[in-house]
Amino acid sequence: MTAWLKKSILKKKEPDNQWIKCPDCAEILYKNLLIDNINVCTRCGHHFRLSPDGWLGYLVNRGTFKEINENIQSVDPLDFSDAKERYVDKLNRSMKKTGMKSAIITGVGKIGKQKACLGIMNFAFLGGSMGSVLGEKVARLFEHAIELSLPVILISASGGARMHEGIYSLLQMAKTSAAIRKHSEAGQLYISIMTDPTTGGVSASFSALGDIMIGEPGALIGFAGPRVIEQTIKQKLPPKFQTAEFLYDHGMLDMIVNRKELKSILIELLTFFG
C-alpha cells in the first residue's frame, strides 16, 4: 500500500460525512453526486434544501448575477436573549456559518435570455426567519425591479417571522406586501417559488403574493404548525395537509415543479410574459 493511500485511509477515522440518508426512501446518497443532481434524491426524487449558491449556480447564467444591498445587517432592537444565548451571538454564529449577512440574497441576473430580479432565502441562516433586514431586502428588491422594469423571482425557505425582533419582524409582512403591490401596479410579473419549508409570516405575506405560485414537490407550506391548528379547531387534519400537493389540489398553488424542470419552466414563463 502506498504511503499516501495509507495516510488517506488513516485520515478517515471519524465517521464519513460524505454520505447522507434520504428521509423518504432511506437510500444512502453520496453527497457530491447529490450536489450534481441539484440536491434531488437520485432514487426517489426527494427534494433536499438547496443553498442560495446552489440555486444561483443552477438557475442563473454564469457571471451575470449582481448582488444588491449585500451589506445590510441585522441589529438587535430589543436587546433580546433567550435562556441560552443572546440574539446578537446567534446572529454572529449564523453569519459565520453561512457567509451571509442575512437570511436572503437579492440581486439581478440572467436566466436564459431573460433578465430578472432574484431573491433566494437561506434556511440555514436562523431558519430563514424574517427579521427587519430580510423584509427590507425583499421590499428593496421589488423597488429595484420597478426601477428596472423587471420581473421578480423569489425562492422562499423559512420558518416564519423572527421572534427575536418581535413586532419589527411582523411589520415586514405589511412592508413587503406593499412593495409587491407597487410592483404589480407597475405591470411587472412576480413568480413565487415555495420550497421546504415555507411557513409562518413568510407564507402569510410575500411568498403567498406571487402572480404565479410554484411549489416544490413534498414541500411543507403553511402558516401555523398542524398540532397548533388541531388544538385550536379541535379537529383532526386531513392527510398530507400543508404539503405542496395539498395546496395545489385546493387551488393555492398554480403548479408543482420538479427542481430539474424548474429552470426551463422559468425561462418559458419569463419569455411568455416578457
Contact residues: Zn ion, CB under 5 A: 22, 24-25, 27, 41, 43-44, 46
Q: Tell me the C-alpha distance between 121 and 69, whole Å.
A: 14
Closest distance between Zn ion and the C-beta of residue 36, in Å?
Answer: 15
Residue type present at position 23:
P
Cell digits for 70?
449585500
Q: Tell me the C-alpha distance between 138 and 155, whole Å.
A: 11
Closest distance between Zn ion and the C-beta of residue 30, in Å?
Answer: 13
Closest distance between Zn ion and the C-beta of residue 28, in Å?
Answer: 10
Residue closer to Zn ion, measured from CB, 25 or 78: 25
Taking phi over 0 as left and psi of -120 to 50 as alpha, with beta for the rest, 39 belongs to: left
Report the Cα 271 to chain-centroid distance in Å.
24
Residue closer to Zn ion, measured from CB, 25 or 174: 25
Closest distance between Zn ion and the C-beta of residue 26, in Å?
Answer: 7
Residue closer to Zn ion, measured from CB, 36 or 230: 36
Q: Tell me the C-alpha distance between 190 and 205, whole Å.
A: 13
Closest distance between Zn ion and the C-beta of residue 228, in Å?
Answer: 29
Residue closer to Zn ion, measured from CB, 25 or 186: 25
Element (H, E) at 198: strand 190-199
Residue closer to Zn ion, measured from CB, 46 or 90: 46
Q: Tell me the C-alpha distance between 103 and 146, whole Å.
A: 23
Give me the sign of the Cα torsion angle 128, 133, 135, 141.
Answer: negative
Element (H, E) at 231: helix 226-233
Residue closer to Zn ion, measured from CB, 27 or 230: 27
Residue closer to Zn ion, measured from CB, 136 or 216: 216
Q: Tell me the C-alpha distance between 49 and 45, whole Å.
A: 12
**Which of the 8 DSSP states describes residue 23?**
T
Closest distance between Zn ion and the C-beta of residue 29, in Å?
Answer: 7
Torsion angle of alpha carbons 261, 203, 253, 118, nearest 10°?
Answer: -40
Instruction: Confirm if 27 and 43 have CB atoms less than 8 A apart.
Output: yes
Closest distance between Zn ion and the C-beta of residue 156, in Å?
Answer: 23
